[in-house]
């Protein structure tokens, strides 16, 4: 059973999420919080596996709460629930260790799948916002020639294939199946990619892959 904590300052949102997720036999809603401060106070008692985290909340927002959760509660995964207007919040939350984000209007079955994936340690990137999340890897204007980071150009063809699949949200097993290689080999490629690109995690890798998608497609 995957234990889920709902954190959102709007009670109607929390009630809706609870109603949807409680239909899933392997998900248990263990609690609710209306801001990050309350969430931090109850996590040690409730021991959730996944926190569904709103971004804009009074007292303590989702970014600050995510940062504290990663500091104080090892093993608790944060999945951001957001809107198109929250890209700066989302970027900050990802930098502080959130496992990914979904839009608040994500269908319930997709939300349940994402919760399961995040609990297993897989990154989840929802649609729409990912291209807005970069500052250090801004895509060029349409009339400009892309400037490809040297470290990205130095990836091997196989590493570029793995990076593209990371961008789709595929986990190591799915990548291994698609490329007909072992999961151990995939793990080695992921480690090499993160080291070469000086990235912290798969979320950052997925973001840079989406930004330079055209280049990567042409380079393999």
Q: What is the pLDDT along the chain (220 residues), one digit of tens a residue?
A: 999 999 999 999 999 999 999 999 999 999 999 999 999 999 999 999 999 999 999 999 999 999 999 999 988 999 999 876 677 788 788 888 898 888 888 888 889 999 998 998 887 777 655 555 544 444 445 555 445 667 888 889 899 889 988 887 788 888 998 888 999 999 999 999 988 888 878 877 887 777 676 666 666 6
Using CA atoms, how far apart are residues 81 and 53, in angstroms rounded to an integer? Answer: 6
Under 8 Å between Cβ of 160 and 216? yes
């Amino acid at each position: 059973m995957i234990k889920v904590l709902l954190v959102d300052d709007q009670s109607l949102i929390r009630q809706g999420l609870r109603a949807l997720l409680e239909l899933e036999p392997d998900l248990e809603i263990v609690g609710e919080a209306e801001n990050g401060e309350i969430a931090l106070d109850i996590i040690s008692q409730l021991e959730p596996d996944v926190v569904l985290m709103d971004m804009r909340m009074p007292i303590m927002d989702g970014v600050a709460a995510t940062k504290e959760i990663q500091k104080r509660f090892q093993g608790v995964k944060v999945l951001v629930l957001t809107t198109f207007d929250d890209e700066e919040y989302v970027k900050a939350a990802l930098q502080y260790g959130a496992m990914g984000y979904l839009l608040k209007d994500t269908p319930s079955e997709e939300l349940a799948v994402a919760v399961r994936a995040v609990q297993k340690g897989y990154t989840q990137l929802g649609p729409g916002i990912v291209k807005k999340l970069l500052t250090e890897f801004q895509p060029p204007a349409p009339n400009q020639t892309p400037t490809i980071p040297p470290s990205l150009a130095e990836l091997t063809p196989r590493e570029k294939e793995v990076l593209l699949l990371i961008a789709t949200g595929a986990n190591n097993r799915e990548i291994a199946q698609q490329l007909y290689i072992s999961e151990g080999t995939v793990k080695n490629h992921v480690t090499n990619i993160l080291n070469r690109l000086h990235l912290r995690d798969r979320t950052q890798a997925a973001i840079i892959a989406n930004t330079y998608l055209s280049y990567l497609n042409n380079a393999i």
